[in-house]
């Protein structure tokens, strides 16, 4: 690298003075205009020298970035190398001005659209989108072509379009209407549904885009529509208004430059969050002050992460160097959030329209497909192969039949010369297409629209279920997608969060341990709760003088180390004057743990009052107010699992208070009663309490200055800010002194244990994935009966791996679980079996990382398989200390194992979203951690207990109904088209159709569609109460039992048998005797009508035989469909329709019904067709009954016994004297 010289190879790159240089070039090179001018003013072109000369007079002055001229020359040299490589394609290294990073994915915003002061930096205006939100998919002009394109991407729709076009192009035996009308119906219904949904989105977009917004222009407030906002506009937002775009918080009416917002519309968090204005602009309270602001903002390009933001602001107070301040998520106000408890704020727009974080989160989740849909597509391919085979066989047989001249050209139908000269292969291909058209009805196009309607309408049964409505919260279940209804009946693994899902997430402060002494607020004495406001129960001996000081320091740490805000009451500003008034404080926080701790320490005598002007005020036991200046906040994150604050007391002492999980605090402690506190923490964890440890250290002024410099350098970084902050926190939070620990109780949710027990009886394996420590999580698992007294716990934890190698631990566990089972293929649903040993596995996040970590020798895959084999043989698994990404990894590991089980993930917090999106079915609990999980899930329920009914009842019904729908559709289409195939053997393969055009068109649309749709919505083969009482019935439908190949083949052969009975029954019965009373013979249309009539009645009555749950609606639809067919046939053949050019069905149906043998044949053929299915059901129920069939039999016996008992009781009472 050259230092101080500009390489001669770039001398020609500088053409013209700085004013003529391309500002885009300067921006891409990250060389600002002041640096450029500074460089040119101190350097001169050296003639005959190696490069650029040294600065005149050896000056080493620096620009505003602090870079010397020599360094700037080197930076310019590298930048020009990079610019030249853009032309030559070569690669080079890029150096930037001092203080800049190699970070080009950024934007510069000019606050108020004002150019920076002269000589500050280059003004490079950039174009950004307006603030218009577009969530709709279509416009008025592109709706028809775009919607048609999306619909015809579906294989079935495209297939029927091709068939329709073939019917239009070539001479086919059926009218194009027979394919075009059903296709038009399906396309139209789907287009209307999607168009209506998009119209609603347009309506919502217009309402949002036309909202009035106030912004600053020339020192005055101006009102305009939200869609006209631009990046750089300064916006004013009032209380209870939503932010129109993403804003950098400049100032508020509060003196401390804070504001409170709720993000319920973004992540569902209803709690108030505190945001902070930029330090140098929080004093600008009027429109004139804000309009006079000169500043630029450098920040990252739009990112969808709601909780991450990296940027910095340059504030130009005068012509001197600008003040540079870091910007983070605490300075960013997101579009859609609402301003609370703050009269008004000013902010500058940085992301607008579709670049806001809310809009970037509009993107749809990955499409999930159910197992039923996959089976349906496979069956469709099978039937497509059958269709092609039929067409091919008929084409070959046609030319075999026509090999004799008199068959090819009978005397009454001679060919023309042109037809004789036509190419043989072209004729054969045309005939093949004609047969494809003739048999294409074996592919049920209406099945797709029926399935969609069934899923859409069926989803309302969940939302209408009053048993799943929670009275406490006023919430009911939500269905975010109806595509996975039947998947609820196929779940094999459930992955659940603990806090807020199995527990209530309603924290109650139980105790704290300080220096080995245990304190319990409001202790019970002789059965009475002590009423004292500082009710403290000393479990052991009273502390000494030194311990007393530590005790108060511990309580102060709990009052200061948090992000809790005090809710304003009646706009009263000022400290509370007495302990009693202090007790009336209302605390708000995004974490219920923090509120519980602050309220708990309040009962122990220390009350947190408020944060004002960077000073935290607390009320001590003596009633005195103590003020601490808040210097720094080291925020909590899930990786560090701790948070810290740095405060300065009124005496000038600087403290760092740190609070976090024991695993992250103990390794950083150098002093304190670690053993006593550790034992108390472990005891509380075993009892299921949530524990936190508290530590501190004093900082001398010199040490604090170093901490400030370290944090400031990390905060202003634009690249890898999180990484640099984490490294800074790691250096600061060390050499701590342990003060004590706290214990908070999170009670188990109502009926959580009963729900898990029922799910396990249903054959579903339940895994708990939590970030809590092992002892706490294990205690919760025992409480909710995931683990039982007889469960042998196996540990796969970091502590055990440290003692043995991972390889040895895995093989030892494998031998243990296989000792009783004897093989690795233990039944997945035998977790509760009494004849096998019950195992429970506990694994932590660190051990999982080792298992998932790829190794050079490729042994990682073996570890994963071994781990999965162990898990398969355990009735329950607990994964503790899990990061959100690890939760998703666990779900993915099971999801893609060799059995490919159906997985369900349930959680209530933002940290559960990753596993909810990864699982086949994601369920969000509408809890206290916000609605982000519910918003990203497929279904949402108020409480964990509602999962029992959702799976065991709704899921069971959904799967039974839709599997019957799919099989029935294929069955009735086999019945429909196979007689057409048989008919070709009797008409010389002439492609003559057996049925009339109207029957071909309306068979799937009208005659047989409504009964199966209503069946798929209403059927209950077992009562709701029985399904809840006997969860084992869920096993009967596990692993897609009703759509396996065996069942599919049975339905197909049943359809073939019925088709043979329809066709040959009618053929042989009326071959010689089919005459009417006047001696007329039946023709081919009468024969086809007879077959069609028997078929419609058979397939409808078959569905009636399968129906177990009869209502008046079932009766109306089933018998009404048969009546509609009869009335339609009478009208279709009994009236001369003027719009028809010919009417081949005239008087055919009446002619058939006028014959007595026809009536007898219809009844006989229907009976023969239905008989095998009835016999099969009777024999199977008697010889090989399923659990469901045994339950049905018991219910029938009970329904018969109850009236009998009632009659006997009435008789006995009547005979009594």
Query: Which are the catalytic amino acids?
Result: 497
Q: How many CB atoms lie within 10 A of CB 351?
A: 30
DSSP string, 797-821: -HHHHHHS-HHHHHHHHHHHHHHHH
**In 500-643, which residue ranges form alpha helices assigned H by DSSP?**
545-560, 579-582, 592-603
Q: 658 forms bridges with which residues in the sheet?
A: 644, 695
The residues near 155 (Cβ < 8 Å, ≥ 6 apart) are 377, 380
**What whole-number distance in Å separates Cα of residue 303 and Cα of residue 315?**
24
Q: Are 1034 and 489 in contact (CB under 8 A)?
A: yes
| Residue 784 · residue 750 · CB < 8 Å | no
CB-based contact 514:554 (threshold 8 Å):
yes
Q: How far apart are CA 1029 and CA 942, in angstroms?
A: 22
Whether residue 794 contacts residue 870, with contact meaning beta carbons closer than 8 Å, is answered with yes
Q: From CA 621, how far away is CA 607, in angstroms rounded?
A: 8
Query: Nearest-CA neighbor of 500 among 87, 1024, 906, 885?
Result: 906
DSSP string, 1136-1193: --TT-S--TTTTHHHHHHT-HHHHHHHHHHHHHHHHHHHHHHHHHHHHS--HHHHHHH
Of 587, 537, 559, 517, the residue nearest 696 (C-alpha):
559
Question: Do residues 237 and 316 touch, judged by C-beta distance below 8 A?
Answer: no
Closest CA relative to residue 25, chosen from 109, 92, 104, 93: 104
User: b vs e for 1019-1051, b when ≥16 Cβ sit within 10 Å of the residue's Cβ?
Assistant: bbbbebebbeebbbbbbbbbbbbbbeeeebeeb
What DSSP string runs through 135-180? --S--TTTHHHHHHHHHTTSHHHHHHHHHHHHHHHS--SS-THHHH
Whether 1108 contacts 1020, CB under 8 Å: yes
Q: 298, 279 in Cβ contact below 8 A?
A: no
For residue 517, give Cα distances in angstroms to 513, 538, 672, 767, 1187. Answer: 5, 7, 13, 37, 58
SS3 6: coil
Other CB atoms within 10 A of residue 155 CB = 14
Q: Which residues pair with 238 in a beta bridge?
A: 344
Structure tokens at 374: 């996959």
Distances in Å between the alpha carbon of 675 and those of 163, 773, 1054? Answer: 80, 18, 75
Token pair of 1198 as six digits = 């009970």
Helix, strand or coil, per DSSP, at residue 552? helix
Please give the sequence-ordered ranges of beta strands (E in DSSP) within 872-951, or none if there are none.
876-880, 903-907, 921-925, 939-941
Q: Which of 970, 958, 924, 952 is closest to 455 using CA atoms?
A: 958
Helix then strand then coil, % of the chain, to nearest 5 = 50, 15, 35
Task: Locate 555 and state its tokens.
Answer: 């309580």
**Backbone phi and psi for residue 248, each to the nearest 5 degrees, phi listed first:** -90, 125
Distances (CA, A) of 734 to 514, 655, 697, 713, 777: 20, 13, 9, 19, 28
């Amino acid at each position: 690298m050259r230092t101080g010289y500009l390489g001669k190879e770039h001398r020609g790159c500088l053409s013209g003075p700085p004013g003529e240089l391309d500002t885009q070039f300067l921006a891409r090179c990250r060389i600002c205009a002041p640096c450029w001018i500074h460089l040119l003013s101190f350097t001169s072109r050296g003639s005959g020298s190696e490069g650029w000369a040294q600065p005149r007079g050896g000056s080493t002055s620096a620009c505003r970035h602090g870079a010397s001229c020599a360094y700037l020359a080197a930076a310019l040299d590298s930048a020009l190398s990079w610019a030249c490589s853009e032309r030559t394609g070569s690669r080079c290294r890029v150096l930037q001005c001092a203080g800049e990073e190699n970070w080009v994915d950024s934007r510069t915003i000019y606050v108020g659209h004002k150019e920076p002061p002269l000589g500050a930096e280059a003004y490079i205006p950039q174009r950004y989108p307006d603030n218009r939100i577009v969530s709709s998919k279509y416009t008025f002009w592109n709706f028809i072509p775009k919607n048609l394109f999306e619909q015809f991407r579906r294989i079935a729709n495209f297939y029927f379009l091709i068939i329709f076009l073939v019917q239009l192009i070539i001479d086919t035996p059926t009218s194009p209407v027979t394919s075009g009308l059903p296709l038009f119906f399906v396309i139209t219904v789907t287009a209307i549904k999607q168009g209506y949904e998009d119209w609603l989105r347009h309506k919502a977009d217009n309402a949002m885009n036309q909202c009035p917004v106030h912004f600053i222009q020339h020192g005055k407030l101006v009102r305009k529509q939200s869609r006209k906002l631009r990046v750089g506009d300064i916006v004013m937002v009032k209380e209870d208004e939503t932010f129109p775009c993403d804003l950098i918080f400049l100032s508020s009416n509060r003196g401390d430059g804070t504001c409170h917002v709720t993000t319920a519309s973004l992540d569902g968090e209803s709690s108030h969050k505190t945001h902070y204005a930029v330090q140098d602009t929080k004093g600008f309270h009027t429109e004139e002050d804000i309009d006079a602001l000169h500043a630029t903002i450098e920040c990252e390009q739009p990112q969808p992460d709601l909780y991450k933001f990296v940027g910095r602001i340059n504030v130009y107070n005068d012509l001197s160097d600008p003040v540079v301040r870091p910007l983070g998520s605490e300075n960013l106000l997101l579009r859609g959030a609402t301003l609370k408890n703050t009269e008004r704020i000013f902010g500058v727009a940085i992301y607008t329209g579709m670049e806001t974080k809310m809009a970037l989160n509009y993107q749809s989740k990955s499409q999930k497909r159910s197992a039923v849909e996959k089976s349906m597509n496979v069956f469709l391919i099978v039937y497509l192969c059958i269709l092609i085979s039929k067409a091919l066989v008929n084409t070959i047989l046609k030319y075999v039949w026509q090999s004799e001249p008199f068959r090819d050209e009978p005397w009454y139908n001679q060919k023309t010369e042109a037809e004789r000269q036509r190419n043989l292969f072209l004729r054969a291909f045309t005939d093949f297409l004609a047969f494809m058209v003739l048999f294409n009805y074996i592919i049920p196009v209406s099945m797709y629209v029926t399935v969609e309607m069934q899923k859409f309408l069926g989803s309302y049964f969940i939302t209408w279920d009053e048993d799943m409505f929670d009275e406490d919260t006023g919430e009911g279940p939500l269905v975010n997608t109806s595509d996975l209804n039947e998947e609820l009946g196929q779940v094999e693994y459930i992955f659940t969060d603990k806090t807020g899902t199995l527990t209530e997430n309603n924290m109650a402060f139980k105790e704290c341990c300080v220096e080995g002494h245990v304190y319990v607020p409001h202790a019970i004495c002789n059965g009475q709760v002590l009423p004292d406001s500082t009710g403290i129960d000393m479990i052991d001996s009273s502390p000494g003088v030194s311990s007393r000081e530590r005790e108060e320091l511990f309580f102060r740490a709990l009052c200061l180390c948090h992000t809790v805000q005090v809710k304003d009451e009646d706009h009263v500003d000022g400290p509370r004057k007495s302990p009693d008034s202090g007790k009336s404080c209302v605390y708000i926080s995004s974490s219920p743990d923090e509120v519980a701790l602050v309220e708990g320490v309040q009962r122990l005598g220390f009350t947190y009052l408020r944060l004002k002007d960077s000073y935290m005020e607390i009320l001590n036991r003596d009633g005195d107010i103590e003020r601490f200046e808040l210097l720094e906040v080291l925020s909590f994150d899930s990786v560090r699992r701790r948070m810290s604050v740095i405060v300065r007391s009124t005496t000038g002492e600087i403290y760092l208070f740190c609070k976090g999980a024991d695993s992250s605090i103990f390794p950083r402690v150098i002093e304190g009663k670690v053993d006593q506190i550790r034992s108390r923490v472990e005891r509380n964890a075993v009892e299921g309490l949530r524990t936190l440890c508290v530590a501190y250290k004093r900082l001398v002024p010199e040490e604090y200055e170093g901490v400030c410099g370290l944090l400031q350098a990390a905060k202003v970084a634009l690249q890898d800010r999180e990484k640099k902050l984490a490294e800074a926190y790691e250096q600061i939070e060390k050499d701590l002194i342990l003060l004590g620990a706290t214990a908070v109780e999170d009670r188990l949710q109502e009926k959580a244990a009963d729900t898990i027990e029922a799910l396990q009886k249903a054959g579903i394996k339940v895994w708990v994935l939590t970030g809590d420590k092992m002892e706490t999580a294990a205690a919760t698992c025992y409480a909710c009966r995931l683990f039982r007294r007889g469960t042998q716990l196996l540990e796969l934890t970091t502590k055990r791996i440290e003692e043995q190698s991972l390889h040895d631990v895995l093989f030892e566990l494998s031998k243990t679980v296989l000792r009783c089972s004897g093989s690795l293929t233990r039944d997945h649903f035998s977790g509760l079996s009494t004849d096998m040993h019950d195992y429970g596995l506990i694994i932590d996040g660190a051990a999982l990382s080792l298992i998932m970590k790829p190794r050079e020798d490729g042994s990682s895959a073996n570890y994963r398989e071994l781990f999965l084999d162990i898990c398969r043989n355990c009735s329950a698994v607990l994964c503790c200390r899990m990061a959100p990404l690890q939760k998703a990894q666990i779900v993915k590991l099971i999801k893609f194992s060799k059995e490919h089980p159906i997985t369900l993930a349930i959680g209530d917090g933002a940290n559960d979203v990753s596993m909810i999106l990864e699982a086949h079915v994601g369920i969000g609990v509408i809890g206290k951690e916000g609605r982000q999980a519910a918003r990203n899930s497929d279904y949402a329920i108020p409480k964990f207990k509602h999962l029992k009914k959702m799976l065991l009842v709704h899921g069971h019904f959904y799967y039974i109904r839709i599997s019957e729908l799919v099989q029935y559709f294929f069955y009735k289409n086999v019945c429909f088209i196979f007689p057409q195939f048989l008919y070709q053997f009797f008409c010389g393969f002439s492609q003559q159709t057996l049925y009339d055009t109207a029957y071909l068109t309306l068979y799937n649309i009208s005659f047989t569609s409504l009964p199966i749709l209503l069946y798929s919505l209403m059927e209950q083969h077992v009562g709701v109460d029985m399904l809840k009482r006997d969860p084992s019935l869920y096993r009967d439908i596990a692993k897609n039992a009703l759509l396996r190949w065996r069942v599919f083949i049975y339905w197909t052969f049943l359809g073939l048998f019925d088709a043979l009975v329809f066709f040959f029954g009618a053929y042989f019965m009326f071959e010689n005797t089919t005459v009417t009373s006047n001696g007329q013979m039946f023709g081919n249309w009468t024969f086809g009508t007879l077959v069609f009539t028997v078929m419609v009645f058979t397939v409808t009555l078959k569905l009636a035989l399968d129906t177990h749950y009869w209502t008046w609606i079932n009766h109306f639809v089933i018998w009404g469909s048969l009546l509609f067919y009869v009335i339609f046939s009478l009208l279709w053949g009994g009236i001369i329709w003027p719009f028809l050019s010919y009417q081949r069905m005239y008087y055919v149906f009446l002619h058939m019904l006028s014959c007595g043998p026809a009536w007898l044949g219809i009844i006989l053929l229907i009976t023969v067709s239905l008989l095998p299915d009835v016999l099969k059901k009777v024999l199977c129920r008697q010889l090989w009954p399923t659990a469901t069939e045994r339950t049905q039999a018991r219910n029938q016996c009970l329904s018969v016994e109850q009236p009998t008992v009632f009659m006997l009781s009435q008789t006995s009472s009547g005979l009594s004297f």
